[in-house]
Structure 1
Amino acid sequence: MEYQIFMSKLKEKGYQPQIFGHSDNVCDMINVRIFDPMRPHFESSSLYLTSTNTMPAANTNAEFTLMCFGERLDFSVYEQSCFTILYFGTSFSQAALFNTAMELLTEIQQITAGMHLLLNASFSGKGLQYLVDTASRIFGNPIYVVDLQNKYLAISAGIVPDNDFFREESKSGYISKQGIASIRANHLDEMVRKYNHPYYYTSELVHTGMLVDAIHIQNIEVGHVMMLESEHPFEDYVPDFFHRFCKLVSLELQKDPAYTRNKGVMYSYFLVDLLRNPQNNIENLKERLEVLGYNLKSSFYIIAIPPSAQSSSHLQLEVILEHLKRIFSGSIYVIYEDTIVFLINKNLYQGFSEYELSQLKEYLAANNLKAGISNFYQNLEDTSRFYQQAIDAINLGLKLNTSTPLCYYSDYYVYKMLEIFEKEDTEIRFLIHPGLMNLYLYDQEKGTDFLNTLQEYLKNPGQSSLVAKNLHVHKNTLLYRMGKIKELIGSDLTQGDDYMNMNLSLMIMKYLNML
């Protein structure tokens, strides 16, 4: 046990020794011995106990810690000594001091042994759950880790308290409304922050004591660890040991970028949970958001900026996120797998405002970024699927060399179908309408630009003047071209199916970089 820790433990037990000799003690003590004046050999790792009648010589050249009792001496002779003297006066016996020292050193030995096991668990790479399970076996009590949104990040396995309240909470994965009300009524969060060490609290809901400590990432509080006193009563050394364990929990959470990059951000962890665990109990999640004051509306969109859409930008993710937060106020956002993700919350039929889209487009274009926007959806459990839509929109937009910074999945879903079909059949070029292939080959052979003329015509059906203007040709020239085009494709383009077939074939050609 380090000297400073030993001294603080003595003060906790009511001892106030006077200190003489070496003031900058850095000894790390592991055992206690009765000082034998006949064998004056000293080790810094030992704590020595003696009466003032058998003190070692002041000029003893060794660093160690000495506890002494009895009639007061002239301690001024020890001012330059290499060792530290703790003088307890005449009110304590040798037996009392020896037992106290043994008790304190035994505590730290138990902590040291336990920390050895916990460090092995932490370095095993098996994650938070394994660390919590290991700690629960060492402490002999159930342990719970929760984030600031009252979601259980880990619940120790094996030791289950005989309590219906905790059993139900464990199933839901969240602290219940009743539990949150109790925490707030007892100012539990404030007490943990105030004391900066494990806080002992007796819950009226479970009629059991518990230790609660905060976990931090880069000095920002991200959650709490709770241990129930349900199986074994807490011994004196447990709070100190528990506090050290909580620091390991903090280190374990720092391995997860979802916590390091979104530390302290309200609601962010809910979005991470939706993306990672789409089958979770959505009603419980909605309830948690409601408790935290978040107003869920009836429809949602996902906006995503994955790494592929950031490659040409010089900005850090946190900088981009900070700006976009101002555009989409009231949204839930997170940095997930190096991707900026926004869950946009809207009323049905509301959609994005012109301001939101113009601001987003302007910012993305100015910083060489692209964003994917999913279709709208109404069930939160579908969030991971619509997140994938936003990612697919970006990837397809990049594949097709689109110039716009906004990639709507609704503009790319046919290309997604082609991508899926391509995995089954590599020759998707065979799906191109034969009439359109005739036109493509005719352009290749004759050097004409009929394919481009057809594309423009299909974009603006029935608007010959506009098509001619866009192509910078006379209207009569356009009519001549369209006559030749209809001849080559074998269709007069009077039926809706003709438009659909030609547009689909053009999309296939674009997907295959034939255009």
Structure 2
Amino acid sequence: MKISLQIIWEKLNFNTAEAVLEAPDHSVFSDVRLLSPKLTTLKSGILYVGEGLLGNEFVCEAGSGLCLLNGSGPFPCDGLAIVGDYSLFELFNRISQLFYELRTQFEQLIEAIIQKKGLQQVVEIISKICGNPVYLVDSSFKVLGIHGPKTMPEMSANWRRLLNDGYLPYNIVMNLIESNELQSMESGRCADLIVSKFFYTPFINYNMRYKGKLQGHFFVVGMLKKITPGDVELTNLAGPYILDAIRSDPHFQTTRGRYYEHFIIDMLEGKPMQLAHIKNQVSALKLDLNDGYTVVKINPNLYDELQNEQISRQLEQINGCKPVFYKNAIVAVFPKLQRQQSSLINKLKTLSKSINGTIGISDEIPGFANLHRLYLQAATAITLGQQLALSTTIYRYQDVMRYHPFLGFDKKDELAVMCHPGMLILKTYDAEHDTKFVQTLETYLKHERHSLPTAAALHIHRNTLSYRLDKIDQLFSFNLDDAFERERILLTLNILSYLSHASFSAE
């Protein structure tokens, strides 16, 4: 750990009347020593502390430095002249203590990284070093760690959003992009002081890059004290350590998320939000709050980061689709397209050929605020489709919804108890006599008890249908004029279909 005279001057709280800094070389030092009268060579990386005017002819190695008490320059190297009622040893001890404290803090930082104590603890140590709140975010502005006071009058709304929501809202990111602030921010190769019209409070930005790719941002926010040049230098010292910390964190995702991803995920999870906030995000997404929406969940059998990114890019080409990575799946939000159901299905069928996995499709429901319900439908469609071992890999919720109420039952007997006894009699009779009475009654009810369309659907003569209905009445006297009995018959048909396909635990 090496520090500059700028940091030493600021940390010792000298004002311009007490100290004069001359540091054209911006040298940094790892150790401090007393300046001996017999010393002829100042070593690189060492800060020498002496008293009085310079009387010696020194040979100064590049990167050496001087700190003189009650002395003055010009200095042969980077120098700090201090005027004050101190003893030489008091000054030396103060500077030595500063070196010790900073070295101890950086050792704690390194230990936290090596022992993988988590990004939050790393951020807390950095905040103590910098003396200001620290925000650590990934490249899509999702918060990885924050340390600082939770309530401050001067905290702007967007800093508060990062603190409360855990990510920067999409509309603010779009403002940064459209104003070129984000491009300017991400172009920096070292720590920069940023004054943004969207954040108000000045802050230091350090871009964390690995092999040229942006991994995230390390912000030091000037909320507790004014940001100084020494703070910028400390941020540059701490930045590489934080990059090591996030790259070694097992939960860190190297893939750059889409800027809207965190908001969409909050909506999929049903996180409570104020309507005004939702409106702002939807407007930035160029969507209609009250439009109809469909959610599609794609479950790849094998996780392949590159393939998943390619699939997401293909989805984004479909009229306003917004795909995100959520729970090891690709979840896509489609506006309007469910109205052209066949068109959407055909696009997904084409897409399914390039992936090895399953696809669940929700209903279309008006209102962006209903994404959570739509996500549950899409996820349930996959669960039911797999449990029923359907022949396709694309499952629409509307096709399997009738089985949804049965997911909570673990054993066949729990469902069989709800079955209409007459339907069980017909099922047994069909099995023993190779008849089709269950199918006949089901088709008859689905055609609203109209004989002609029922006979046509069964490909039988109307007289044959009458015979079957008479036989069904002999086996069990159904009251088909009772709406509730008809409902129970149809429920039983769904249960019997479910029981014939679904797998259950041992009874």
Give the TM-score normalised by structure 2.
Answer: 0.70
Q: Supply the distance in 2 between the matched residues of 1:94 and 1:382 (Cα, whole angstroms).
A: 70
How far off is 1:44 after superposition? 10
Report Cα offsets for 1:354-390 as digits up to 9, x if no partner: 3222221343367554322223344545433431221
Alignment match, 2:25: 15
Instruction: Give yes or no for the alignment of 1:140 onto 2:157.
Output: no
Residue 407 of structure 2 aligns to a residue whose secondary structure is: helix
Residues 154, 223 of structure 2: 8 Å contact kept: no
- The Cα offsets for residues 253-301 of structure 1, whole Å up to 9 and x where unpaired, read as 885879544x152422221232346123343243144346555452322
Question: For residue 76 of structure 1, what is the aligned residue in structure 2?
Answer: none
Q: Kindly indicate whether residue 398 of structure 2 is the aligned counterpart of residue 388 of structure 1.
A: no
Q: Is the 8 A contact 1:301 1:377 kept in 2?
A: yes
1:342 to 324, 332, 341: 332
Q: 1:306 aligns with which of 286, 299, 306?
A: 299
Q: Work out whether residues 331 and 345 of structure 1, in 8 Å CA contact, stay in contact via their aligned partners in 2.
A: yes
Secondary structure of 2:223's partner? coil
Alignment of 1:28-67 (within 5 A): 30-31=30-31
Map Cα deviations across residues 367-418 of structure 1 (whole Å, 9 max, x no partner): 5543222233445454334312211111011111222333232333332222
Query: Residues 484 and 365 (structure 1 numbering): CA distance in 2 closer, same or farther, change over 3 Å?
Result: farther
Structure 1 position 323 matched with structure 2 position 314 = yes
Q: Are 2:239 and 1:252 equivalent residues in the alignment? A: no
Does residue 397 (structure 1) correspond to residue 391 (structure 2)? The answer is no
Tell me, yes or no, if the aligned pair for 1:225 and 1:246 is still in contact at 8 Å: yes
User: Do the aligned residues in 1 keep the contact of 2:292 with 2:365 (CA within 8 Å)?
Assistant: yes
Q: Distance in 1 between matches of 2:455 and 2:303?
A: 37
Change (3 A) 1:204 1:313: closer
In the other structure, the counterpart of 1:74 is none
Give CA deviations for 1:311-331 in whole Å, capped at 9, x if unaligned: 6999943343333333x3312
Stretches of structure 1 lacking an aligned partner (at least 5 in a row): 18-27, 56-66, 70-83
Deviation at 1:302, TM superposition (A): 1.6
CA distance in structure 1 between the aligned counterparts of 2:172 and 2:272, rounded to whole angstroms? 24
Q: Is the 8 A contact 1:221 1:264 kept in 2?
A: no
- In 2: Cα distance, 1:244 partner to 1:286 partner: 41
Q: Which moved more, 1:290-299 or 1:502-511?
A: 290-299
1:148 positional shift:
6.9
Partner of 1:63: none
Structure 2: how far apart are the matches of 1:332 and 1:369? 20
Distance 1:468 1:209, change over 3 A: closer
SS at match of 2:339: coil
SS at match of 2:319: coil
Report the CA distance between 1:211 and its aligned residue.
1.3
SS of corresponding position for 1:211: strand
Q: Spell out, residue by residue over 1:469-513, the C-alpha distance to the aligned partner (whole angstroms, 9 max, x if none).
A: 765666655554343234324237466545432221011112222
State the identity as a percent.
24
SS of 1:301's partner is strand
Match of 1:488 among 471, 475, 479: 475
Are residues 474 and 184 of structure 1, via their aligned partners in 2, closer, same or farther at CA, if it must alter by over 3 Å? closer
Match of 1:370 among 335, 347, 358: 358
Task: Report SS of the residue matched to 2:59.
Answer: strand
CA distance in 2, matches of 1:108, 1:137: 15
Corresponding residue pairs, total: 464
Aligned-pair CA distance for 1:428: 1.7
Are the counterparts in 2 of residues 306 and 391 from structure 1 also a CA contact under 8 Å? no
1:170-204: CA deviations, max 9, x gaps? 58747699987996798543332333222213457
Partner residue, 2:69: none
Query: Is residue 169–residue 175 contact of structure 1 (8 Å, CA) maintained in 2?
Result: no
Q: Secondary structure at the match of 1:513?
A: helix
* 2:403 matched residue in structure 1: 415
Q: Residues 224 and 110 of structure 1: is their aligned pair in 2 closer, same or farther, counting only changes over 3 Å?
A: same
Indicate whether 1:445 and 2:432 are aligned: yes
Residues 110 and 202 (structure 1), Cα distance of their counterparts in 2 relative to 1, 3 Å cut: farther
Q: In structure 1, what is the Cα distance between the partners aligned to 2:389 and 2:150?
A: 57
- Of residues 117-126 and 335-344 in structure 1, the stretch that sits farther from structure 2 once superposed is 117-126
Hey, what's the Cα distance between the residues in 1 that align with 2:471 and 2:482? 18
Change (3 A) 1:389 1:478: same
Aligned position for 2:59: 68
CA contact (8 A) 1:486 1:492 kept: no
Match of residue 333 from structure 1: 323
For residues 200 and 314 of structure 1, what CA distance do their matches in structure 2 show?
Answer: 35
Task: Spell out, residue by residue over 1:80-136, the C-alpha distance to the aligned partner (whole angstroms, 9 max, x if none).
Answer: xxxx87799xx9657866989x99999887665433333455567675555434432
Structure 2: distance between partners of 1:290 and 1:495 = 50
Q: 2:339 corresponds to which letter in structure 1? A: G
Cα deviation, 1:406-456, whole Å, max 9, x if unaligned, reads: 323233333222223x26996220111111100111123334343344445
2:291 paired with 1:278? no
Answer yes or no: is 1:232 the counterpart of 2:225.
yes
Q: Does 1:241 align with 2:221?
A: no
Alpha-carbon distance in 2 for matches of 1:360, 1:484: 46
Alpha-carbon separation, structure 1, partners of 2:420 and 2:410? 20
Contact 2:25 2:77 in 1 (8 A): no
Structure 2 residue identity aligned to 1:502: I
**Alignment-derived partner of residue 204 in structure 2:** 211
Q: Distance in 2 between matches of 1:180 and 1:514?
A: 48
> Once the 2 structures are TM-superposed, how far is the Cα of residue 342 of structure 1 from its aligned partner?
1.0
Q: Which amino acid aligns with 1:283?
A: A
Task: Say if 2:410 is the partner of 1:427.
Answer: no
CA RMSD in angstroms comes to 5.3
Correspondence 1:194 to 2:187: yes
Quick one: which of 63, 86, 108 aligns to 1:117?
Answer: 108
Q: Deviations over 1:25-57 (max 9, x none)?
A: xxx9732558999999x99997899xxxx99xx
Return the TM-score normalized by structure 1: 0.69
